[in-house]
Amino acid sequence: MNFKRLAGVTLTVVLALAITPNSAPASDRTDVLAAAHQYFDNLDNDHLQKALAVCDSSVTIIDEFPPHEWSGPTACADWWKALNAYNDKNGITESEAKLGTPWSVDVNGDRAYAVVPATYTYKQNGKAVTESRSVWTVVLRRTSAGWRITAWTWSKH
C-alpha cells in the first residue's frame, strides 16, 4: 500500500470538506451578526434611527400582523409604524424581543442569510404573554457602507 499517496488523498479530501461554499471568515459572520443586532436591538422610539440606518435602499419584510408585507425604500420605517399601530389597537404594551444564539449564518460573497431563534414578551390587556419559539430570518447585502438588511421575516410557533 502506498501510504504517501493515501495521506495525500486524505489531506485533499479533508481540505475540500473544510472549504465549502458556505464557509466564511469569522469576521464576515461577526460583521453580519453585528449589523443584524444593530437593527434588532435598536427597535424602540429612542434609537430607531440607528436601527433604520442598517436597512438597505430597498427592503422586504414579512411579519405576522396585517398587512403582513412591507417593501421598498421605507419598508423598515413603515413596518415600525404599523407595529406600533397594531400594538395600540390590540392593547399590547411592554413588548420586548430578544435574539438567541443563531442557528445558522451563511455568507456567500456579498450576501448573507441568518436564522436566529427569538423570544418575544409583552402584555396584552395587562396579561403577560411569552412567545418563546419565534424565529427571525434575515438577509443582508454587503455594501461600501457595510452590511445592510435587504429582507427579513418573523415567524412564531
Q: What is the pLDDT of residues 83-103, one digit of tens each?
A: 999 999 999 999 999 999 999
Q: Which pLDDT band holds residue 24 (cuts at 50, 70, 90)?
A: low
The pLDDT of residue 26: 77
What is the structure's pLDDT at 16?
37
pLDDT surpassing 70 at residue 7: no
Q: Which CATH class, in words, describes the domain spanning 24-155? A: alpha beta
Q: Which helix (H) or strand (E) holds 118?
A: strand 111-124
**Percentage of the chain with pLDDT > 70?**
84
Percent of the chain with pLDDT over 90: 82
What pLDDT sits at residue 12?
38
Confidence of residue 137 (pLDDT cuts 50, 70, 90): very high
Q: Lowest mean pLDDT: which of 1-10, 79-88, 117-126?
A: 1-10
Angle at Cα 59 formed by Cα 90 and Cα 93, nearest 5°? 20
91: left (phi > 0), else alpha (psi -120 to 50), else beta?
Answer: left
Report, in this order, helix, strand and coil percent for the chain, each rounded to 5. Answer: 30, 40, 25
Greater confidence (154 vs 24) lies with 154
